[in-house]
Amino acid sequence: MNNLNSSATPAAGEYAGDEVSAIVLDPGYSSVRAGFAGEDVPKSVCPSWYGQIDSDSGPQYLFGENAIYRPAPNLQIKNYWGADGVVEDWDTAAKLWEYAITSRLTGTRASDPSKNGLNDDPKENGNGEAMDVNMETIENQEKPLEESPLLMTEPGWNPTKAREKAIEIAMEEWGTPAFYLQKTGVLAAFASGKASGIIIDVGASHTSVTPVLDGMVLKKGVQKSPLAGNFVSNQIRLGFKRSQPEIPLTPHYLVKSKTQVDAGSPAQAVYRTFDTPPTDSFRYYQEERVLTEYKESVVEVWPGPGRLSNGTNEEIAKSMPGRPFEMPDGWNQVFGVDRFKAAEGLFDANAALTDDANPRPKDEHTLPRLVQAAVQHVDADQRPILLQNIVVTGASTLLYKFGDRLNYEINNIYPSTRNKLIAPGPVVERKYAAWIGGSILASLGSFHQLWISKKEYEEQGANIVEKRCR
């Protein structure tokens, strides 16, 4: 289980088996992936959403699934990513990343006095042994990552400031001995065993299309768009609102027990009551969980040929059998053509549902146009190579028939070249492609010369990341 897959196993001479294992950190909008280099899946996957409880003594942060799924008064669920796909709240980001690394990889440091057991009984601290333990943990506390080099991923459009901030946190807050920053696009290509290709990454908040040539990102060709997983969720929400009668979206935590009802009938569930109802952001996050289930089991991408709105396609879609879905409160219905509409906006801006809060997406943000724009920035003679290696990654590409539709759209734009989609079958490889690529890269012996050491950082400052990590 700990072996890399066969396509990626490095030759014995290259493999740096005696090196201390590096940690690979791949932060995304929906989840943060962290694990040891050389392993095939990240051991730690932690939601990027975090809980915040404001009190008089300052805000209290809650990380990890266990904390943020539990309804609590005044618990707000937030995300440290900004709307533009760049980390916005660096302080919390650093804390959350550290949580992701320490909670499941290196061991918790004794940072939280209420949890480390040292403060439970004042008597225990009275004797010398407990004090020794205290001293040890304090040392650990200062340097959570002192033993492990860190390879971090970044989106293709990461600004200089954000990159410098990343190395600063790694070096100064975590005390990592070596650091490197690599773009997700390149790593996803590595995970599929490709050095060149077009990487289509449909994540939660953003879709990106990255042309990669010989392991280098063509920076001007990088395209991003906000039409991704969250966009699909919003489309579903809009669809529910539009439907007659409106489809209720009740998250699990409000329901105590549900009762079977006929399709389309109002729910008859026993609801839970709260003294202080959880905040809107908590509810929103919990609703997303239901929508994820809906996306997994109901939503389907119109596979082509043509768009859903073309000709008789919608009629055909209508004639296809619907898929049932049951809400947490027992409300259920069979979704027919509606289930095709939720994701159609990814490919066809005209088909997207809109309202005041959700304006019509821009045409150039749809997937076919993104690919087109990315390819245009590449020299004409390189294009066929890239189009033979179209790597599809990101959890939102798991939408049913997504691959079929993408294949159709690309063949539609480039009918004369040999286009080949590379979409790994196993779900983990799709969801964690960038992390897996990072794991492969950081365990290569030849990679070791690329690390930025602590010494170099101290000599040259944070700007070294611009020179060394291209």
Among residue numbers 70 through 89, which ones bind another protein (CB under 8 A)? 70
Q: Judged by CB under 8 A, which stretch of 204-212, 219-227, 406-414, 446-454 contacts another protein?
A: 406-414
Q: What is the DSSP letter of 216?
A: E
Say whether residue 103 binds another protein (CB under 8 A). yes
- Shortest Å, Cβ 219 to another protein: 29
Amino acid (1-letter code) at residue 34: A
Q: CA 161 to CA 154: how far, in whole Å?
A: 12
Q: Show Cβ contacts of residue 435 under 8 Å, excluding neighbours closer than 6 positions.
A: 24, 26, 33, 34, 35, 42, 153, 187
Min dist. Cβ of residue 105 to another protein (A):
6
Cα(69)–Cα(367) distance, rounded to whole angstroms?
Answer: 33
By CB under 8 A, tell whether 354 contacts another protein: no
108 interacts with another protein by CB under 8 A = yes
Does position 307 interact with another protein (CB under 8 A)? The reply is no
278 contacts: CB under 8 Å, gap ≥ 6: 71, 72, 73, 75, 253
β strands within 290-343, DSSP E: 323-326, 332-335
Q: Which of 62, 334, 337, 450 binds another protein (CB under 8 A)?
A: 334
Q: Where are the alpha helices (DSSP H) in 298-401?
A: 313-319, 338-344, 367-376, 383-387
Q: Is 128 in the site for another protein (CB under 8 A)?
A: yes
Q: Do residues 420 and 254 make contact, with C-beta atoms less than 8 angstroms apart?
A: no
Angle of CA points 114, 87, 189, to nearest 5°: 110
Task: Confirm if 208 and 216 have CB atoms less than 8 A apart.
Answer: no
Residue 62 interacting with another protein (CB under 8 A): no
CB atoms within 10 A of CB 55: 8
| 84, 51 Cβ separation under 8 angstroms | no
Is 319 an interacting residue with respect to another protein (CB under 8 A)? no
Residue 400 CB, nearest approach to another protein (Å): 3
Candidates 156-164, 176-184, 188-196, 259-267; binding stretch for another protein (CB under 8 A): 259-267
Least separation in angstroms between CB 418 and another protein: 11
Size of the site for another protein (CB under 8 A): 87
295 binds another protein (CB under 8 A): yes
Applying CB under 8 A, among 139, 160, 270, 271 the residue interacting with another protein is 270
- Cβ closest to another protein, residue 226 vs residue 305: 305
Under the binding rule (CB under 8 A), the answer on residue 107 touching another protein is yes
- Mark the segment that binds another protein (CB under 8 A) among 153-161, 185-193, 362-370, 427-435: 427-435
User: Which residues between 134 and 173 bind another protein (CB under 8 A)?
Assistant: none
Region of 74-82, 88-96, 126-134, 226-234 interacting with another protein (CB under 8 A): 126-134
The one-letter code for the residue type at 323 is R
What 3-state DSSP class applies to 452? strand
Q: Return the residue of 257, 309, 312, 354 that touches another protein, per CB under 8 A.
A: 257
**Any contact of residue 325 with another protein (CB under 8 A)?**
yes
